Amino acid sequence: MNILYVSGSPRKTSNTDYLLKVALAETGGRLIKLTDYRIEPCKSCWFCQKVHKCVVEDDMTKLLIPELIESDGIVLGSPVYFNNVSAQLKAFMDRTWCIRDKFRNKIGGTVVVGRHYGFESAVTAVNAFFLKHEMIPANRGVCGIAFERDEVVGDREAVDSAKRLGKRILELLGLIDKKDSFFYNDNLSEQERSCEEKPS
């Protein structure tokens, strides 16, 4: 299975990465850390409207977007920062604006880790990303409780939940054989398929 696990944690020994790896152990795939890549924030230049690709020349355009398009599923992980996702993950999500018709029907998974506050709003931010891209969220998301490095290892509920996320992704991938599925419409025009909005 071609599942891309994306970590928005800047920590080397990261709670988020730990839970992502637990899910990855179920599905296979690849874990990337956004801090290993140079990713500029979206400039809202709208050139992508005209040329159908992002004109910012960085690792997002050159390396990550091609890999994302090839994937069957994308699991986004983030530490909870001020009740939201990390700046690294937010920049990553915004930069997919230029390919918003390319993730349709991919499976989405969510992992967030925080000390105490704001899990729901961080999960909601990731779910909004999945829904905007017309992806299929695998479940309500994994929430780990941890503050210090490695602390999430002791959150057995979160570890089990990450395992279940992996299994759920496999289950959905088994169900969604895109070519045969009754809800996959290969005949949609580019315009019908597009979930883009016109700039106001």
Ligand X SMILES: Cc1cc2nc3c(=O)[nH]c(=O)nc-3n(C[C@H](O)[C@H](O)[C@H](O)COP(=O)(O)O)c2cc1C
Task: Kindly state whether residue 121 participates in binding ligand X, applying the rule CB under 6 A.
Answer: no
Q: Which is nearer to ligand X, 92 or 103 (CB)?
A: 92
Task: Kindly state whether residue 117 participates in binding ligand X, applying the rule CB under 6 A.
Answer: yes
Answer for the pair 20, 45: CB distance below 8 angstroms, yes or no: no
Answer for the pair 110, 129: CB distance below 8 angstroms, yes or no: no
Backbone angles phi, psi at 179, to 5 degrees: -70, -35
Say how many residues touch ligand X, by CB under 6 A. Answer: 19
Count CB neighbours of 104 within 10 A. Answer: 16
Binding segment for ligand X (CB under 6 A), chosen from 20-28, 61-69, 107-115, 160-168, is 107-115
Minimum distance of ligand X from residue 158's CB (angstroms): 11
Task: Kindly state whether residue 154 participates in binding ligand X, applying the rule CB under 6 A.
Answer: no
Task: Kindly state whether residue 5 participates in binding ligand X, applying the rule CB under 6 A.
Answer: no
Minimum distance of ligand X from residue 109's CB (angstroms): 16
Burial 112-124 (b: 16+ CB within 10 A, else e): bbbeeebbeebbb
Task: Kindly state whether residue 166 participates in binding ligand X, applying the rule CB under 6 A.
Answer: no
Residue with the CB atom nearest ligand X in the bound state = 114
Minimum distance of ligand X from residue 6's CB (angstroms): 13
Task: Kindly state whether residue 124 participates in binding ligand X, applying the rule CB under 6 A.
Answer: no
What is the Cα–Cα distance from 6 to 76, expressed in whole angstroms?
A: 5
Q: What do you get for the CA distance between the two ends of the chain, in Å?
A: 39
Question: What does the per-residue mask of binding to ligand X show for 28-67, with x meaning CB under 6 A?
Answer: ----------------------------------------
**Half-sphere exposure (Cβ direction) of 190: Cα atoms closer than 13 Å:** 2
**Half-sphere exposure (Cβ direction) of 13: Cα atoms closer than 13 Å:** 8
What is the Cα–Cα distance from 164 to 149, expressed in whole angstroms?
A: 23
Minimum distance of ligand X from residue 111's CB (angstroms): 9
Q: Which is nearer to ligand X, 116 or 198 (CB)?
A: 116
Q: Which residues bind ligand X (CB under 6 A)?
A: 9, 11, 14-16, 79-83, 113-118, 146-147, 149
